[in-house]
Amino acid sequence: MNPNNRYRLRDALLAVLAGNVFSGTRLGLRIFALKALYYAFSAGRLKQSLAAWKKRREAARELGAQTPQPSS
């Protein structure tokens, strides 16, 4: 119950969420580590990850069919 920010991954996550990834901060390695952890966990749950991806793709396709096209 003693949270810490030893590897400053929390800072990297906050920078990504805030859209502050291109500032002069030195978070490149930490953002890379955050991405690596994300992909490693996704690979560990490959079946669920693929099912969620397909579900999001179908939802986006259905939403795209419902939106009116702008007239020129």
Tens of pLDDT along 21-44? 666 667 778 888 888 988 899 899
Phi, psi of 68, rounded to the nearest 5 degrees: -70, 145
Its pTM surpasses 0.75: no
Burial zone of 71 (CB within 10 Å; 0-12 exposed, 13-18 middle, 19+ buried): exposed
Q: Are 18 and 37 in contact (CB under 8 A)?
A: no
pLDDT of residue 71: 65
Output the CA angle 37-10-39, nearest 5 degrees: 15
Looking at residue 22, the DSSP 8-state letter turns out to be: T
